[in-house]
Structure 1
Amino acid sequence: MLDMFNRWYKRRFSDPDAASLVVILLGGFLTIYFLGNLIAPLLVAIVLAYLLEWPVARLYKFGLPRSLSVSIVLLVFVGLMVMAVFGLVPTIWHQVGNLVADVPTMFNDLQSYVSSLPSRYPDFVQPHLVDTFMTTLREKVLGMGESVVKGSLASLVSLAALGVYLILVPLLVFFLLKDKQEMLDILGGVLPKNRRLATKVGVEMNQQISNYIRGKVTEILIVGSVSYVTFAILDLRYGLLLAVLVGFSVLIPYIGAAAVTIPVAMVGLYQWGVSPEFWWLLVAYGIIQALDGNVLVPILFSEAVNLHPVAIIIAVLVFGGLWGFWGVFFAIPLATLVKAVWSAFSATEHDELLEE
């Protein structure tokens, strides 16, 4: 067993380029795992820099200086964000308040409906099961209420951190875009010299991450907008709030769509009951999810969808457990990174066998 492990180790890591790749990956993993909270503004800035690099590059090709291109793109982006915040946040906050106010009524209606089940279906539903279910549900609702109160108090404390983000992140994005090449040169001087495999994987992943971030933002905007128009046509309550939830649910492949179905269905059931309008809502929502998964995602992520759905779900669970939000957000690129590293090692081993 030990001899087999030694042969495998020598075959995989006898190449200095392979060893350098492992060192770089391990260093990145440990940095994000232990310092992720400290460098969160930098991570946000890197994501935004990837998103804005495409319009900056286009303006630069038209002959504008890179500094001017970065300034124009960043000012337009910040302006759009400010318009979105002042246009959407008050409405969303108002709908959140209405939803919170309606929760007791929803709970009472649900309790009345569940309590009537033993008389309606005495052969299938026992009264003690209903009592146990309602007691458990009541405890969960109270626990959620306490969590909301604690979260509200904590959010007051985090306002200072939000202010820091609003100042630091735009500055970091500006310098990441403006001095991109200089920073890459500095990073290249720090990394190991034998990094042929690391460079190969890095070039592939740079393109993957760039396409992924732009595609994911586009998917959020399209799915959220279509959902809002659909909910508005159906006159669904809290339509904007639910549309925002549906849009951001695409950040978590498969799991997000399943999770956000619950609030959409619950609001529809509370508003209309088991009626034709409720079924129209579920059909429309199902069509949106089907078009997103079968049309929009393959168009936006033509290379990423080559990953098996099971591999994507495992990546969401593993990387989300390790790095929280960032692990979930980059689950597909990280799964692609694992695949690219495996392919690089396999190609190296194949070349060594050919040389022998």
Structure 2
Amino acid sequence: MFKVLSNWYHRTFTDPEAVAMALVLLIGFTLIYFMGDLLAPLLIALVLAYLLDWPVSFLANHGFRRGLASALVLLVFFLIATFAVLRILPTVWGQGVNLLSEYPVMLNSSQQWLESLPQRYPEFIDGALIEAVVSNVRSRLMGVGEQLLQSSFSSIVNLATVMVYSVLVPLMVFFMLSDKKTLLGSVSRFLPNDRRLIVQVWAEMNGQVVNYIRGKAIEILVVGCISYVVFAVMDLRYSALLAVLVGLSVLIPFIGAFAVTLPVAMVGLFQWGVSPQFGYLILAYGVIQVIDGNVLVPLLFSEAVNLHPLAIIMAVLVFGGLWGFWGVFFAIPLATLVKAVINAWPHHNAQPEEQSPQA
């Protein structure tokens, strides 16, 4: 057993470039794991910098100084974001408050409907099973409601932190955009000399992250807008709030769409009951998910995310469990990073005469 482990160690860690890459990855993951909360403003700034780098580079290539281009793009972005927040946030907040106030009524209505099923179809549905399911679902949903209230109160308490972030994040984004080459050069000085593999993985990951962040931003906007139009045309209550939830659900592949189905179905069932309108709502929601999965995702991401669906789900579960929201948000890039490292890692055959892979 020891000989097997020794042979594996010598085959895997004899390359100094591989050791350097492993050391950099270990330090990076350790810092993020233990200092994730402190690095949250930096992560937000990095996401925005990746999102805004394309228009800044476009202006810089057409005669603008990079500092001026960064200031203009950042100003336009925050003006648009402020306008959208001032127009959308009050509506979403008001609908959220109303939904929470009607939450117990919806639960009671859903419970009564489920409890009536054994009487309507006694040969197919067991009353004891329905009662157990209703009790379990009710306790979980009430727990979700309590968590939402607690998060609302904690967000009010942490308003000072939000105000600090609103100043720090734009400043960091501006310096990341305007001094991009200088910052990259400064970071490279701290890397080991044997860094060919690090550069190779970074080149692959940089393109992946850029495409992923831009694609996700566009996907959230498109799915959210389509959902709002569909819900508003159908005169569904809380259409703005549900559209925002559906748009944000694309951040969590597969799982997000399934999770948002419950509030959409509950609101529709409470408003219309089991009726043709409710069926049209579920059909329209299913069409939106089909368009997202079969049109938007291939169009926006193309080959940027070449991962098996099982690998994506596992990445969401693992990295989400480690780093919460940011782990979920960066689950696909992190999974792509793992894949890039595996592909770039030197592979040595077991035979002594074949010490290096063929080019």
CA separation of 1:184/1:289 partners in 2, compared to 1, >3 Å: closer, same or farther?
Answer: same
Within a 5 Å distance, the mapping from 1:91-240 to structure 2 comes to 91-240=91-240
Percentage of pairs with the same residue? 56
1:112 Cα offset (Å): 2.4
1:348 Cα offset (Å): 7.1
CA separation of 1:260/1:354 partners in 2, compared to 1, >3 Å: closer, same or farther?
Answer: closer
Equivalent-residue separation in structure 1 for 2:317 and 2:357 (angstroms): 38
1:123 Cα offset (Å): 3.6
TM-score under structure 1 normalisation? Answer: 0.94
Equivalent-residue separation in structure 1 for 2:174 and 2:8 (angstroms): 46
Whose helix fraction is larger, Structure 1's or Structure 2's? 1
Q: Residues 305 and 336 of structure 2 are in contact (CA less than 8 Å); yes or no, is this contact kept in structure 1?
A: no
Within a 5 Å distance, the mapping from 1:15-30 to structure 2 comes to 15-30=15-30
Extract unaligned runs of 5+ from structure 2: none
Aligned counterpart, 1:35: 35
Q: Residues 56 and 70 of structure 2 are in contact (CA less than 8 Å); yes or no, is this contact kept in structure 1?
A: yes
Shifted more, 178-187 versus 214-223: the winner is: 178-187
1:126 Cα offset (Å): 4.7
Count the aligned residue pairs: 355
Q: Aligned to 2:153, what secondary structure does the other structure show? A: helix
1:277 aligns with 2:277: yes
Shifted more, 128-137 versus 50-59: the winner is: 128-137
CA separation of 1:211/1:118 partners in 2, compared to 1, >3 Å: closer, same or farther?
Answer: closer
Aligned counterpart, 1:292: 292
1:14 Cα offset (Å): 1.1
Shifted more, 129-138 versus 78-87: the winner is: 129-138
Q: Residues 47 and 213 of structure 1 are in contact (CA less than 8 Å); yes or no, is this contact kept in structure 2?
A: yes
Q: Aligned to 2:146, what secondary structure does the other structure show? A: helix
Q: Aligned to 1:353, what secondary structure does the other structure show? A: coil
Equivalent-residue separation in structure 2 for 1:71 and 1:348 (angstroms): 49
- Root mean square deviation, CA, Å: 1.9
Equivalent-residue separation in structure 2 for 1:227 and 1:108 (angstroms): 27
CA separation of 1:193/1:143 partners in 2, compared to 1, >3 Å: closer, same or farther?
Answer: same
Q: Residues 312 and 331 of structure 2 are in contact (CA less than 8 Å); yes or no, is this contact kept in structure 1?
A: yes
**Amino acid aligned to 2:56:** V
Aligned counterpart, 1:14: 14
Equivalent-residue separation in structure 2 for 1:246 and 1:273 (angstroms): 21
Q: Aligned to 2:37, what secondary structure does the other structure show? A: coil
Equivalent-residue separation in structure 2 for 1:285 and 1:130 (angstroms): 26
Shifted more, 106-115 versus 303-312: the winner is: 106-115
1:232 Cα offset (Å): 1.2
Q: Residues 232 and 239 of structure 2 are in contact (CA less than 8 Å); yes or no, is this contact kept in structure 1?
A: yes
CA separation of 1:135/1:323 partners in 2, compared to 1, >3 Å: closer, same or farther?
Answer: closer
CA separation of 1:344/1:126 partners in 2, compared to 1, >3 Å: closer, same or farther?
Answer: closer
Q: Aligned to 1:67, what secondary structure does the other structure show? A: helix
1:342 aligns with 2:342: yes
Equivalent-residue separation in structure 1 for 2:252 and 2:3 (angstroms): 42
**Amino acid aligned to 2:282:** L
Shifted more, 340-349 versus 185-194: the winner is: 340-349
Aligned counterpart, 1:332: 332
CA separation of 1:348/1:205 partners in 2, compared to 1, >3 Å: closer, same or farther?
Answer: farther
CA separation of 1:211/1:347 partners in 2, compared to 1, >3 Å: closer, same or farther?
Answer: farther
Equivalent-residue separation in structure 1 for 2:113 and 2:130 (angstroms): 10
Aligned counterpart, 1:302: 302
Extract unaligned runs of 5+ from structure 1: none
Shifted more, 120-129 versus 222-231: the winner is: 120-129
1:57 aligns with 2:57: yes
1:353 Cα offset (Å): 2.8
CA separation of 1:332/1:4 partners in 2, compared to 1, >3 Å: closer, same or farther?
Answer: same
Q: Residues 15 and 346 of structure 2 are in contact (CA less than 8 Å); yes or no, is this contact kept in structure 1?
A: no
1:145 Cα offset (Å): 4.1
Within a 5 Å distance, the mapping from 1:238-249 to structure 2 comes to 238-249=238-249
**Amino acid aligned to 2:250:** V
**Amino acid aligned to 1:71:** A
1:107 Cα offset (Å): 2.1
**Amino acid aligned to 1:299:** L
Equivalent-residue separation in structure 2 for 1:135 and 1:287 (angstroms): 32
Q: Aligned to 2:209, what secondary structure does the other structure show? A: helix
Shifted more, 28-37 versus 297-306: the winner is: 297-306
CA separation of 1:337/1:148 partners in 2, compared to 1, >3 Å: closer, same or farther?
Answer: closer
**Amino acid aligned to 1:153:** F
Equivalent-residue separation in structure 1 for 2:144 and 2:203 (angstroms): 45
Q: Residues 12 and 347 of structure 2 are in contact (CA less than 8 Å); yes or no, is this contact kept in structure 1?
A: no
Q: Residues 297 and 305 of structure 1 are in contact (CA less than 8 Å); yes or no, is this contact kept in structure 2?
A: no
What does the per-residue CA deviation read over 1:186-205, in whole Å, with 9 as the maximum and x for residues that have no partner? 11111111100000100110
CA separation of 1:337/1:354 partners in 2, compared to 1, >3 Å: closer, same or farther?
Answer: closer
Q: Residues 211 and 304 of structure 2 are in contact (CA less than 8 Å); yes or no, is this contact kept in structure 1?
A: no
Q: Aligned to 1:64, what secondary structure does the other structure show? A: coil
What does the per-residue CA deviation read over 1:218-256, in whole Å, with 9 as the maximum and x for residues that have no partner? 110111111111111111111111111011100001111
1:129 Cα offset (Å): 4.3
TM-score under structure 2 normalisation? Answer: 0.93
Equivalent-residue separation in structure 1 for 2:153 and 2:60 (angstroms): 46
Q: Aligned to 1:112, what secondary structure does the other structure show? A: helix
Q: Aligned to 2:189, what secondary structure does the other structure show? A: helix
Equivalent-residue separation in structure 2 for 1:260 and 1:134 (angstroms): 19
1:302 Cα offset (Å): 1.5
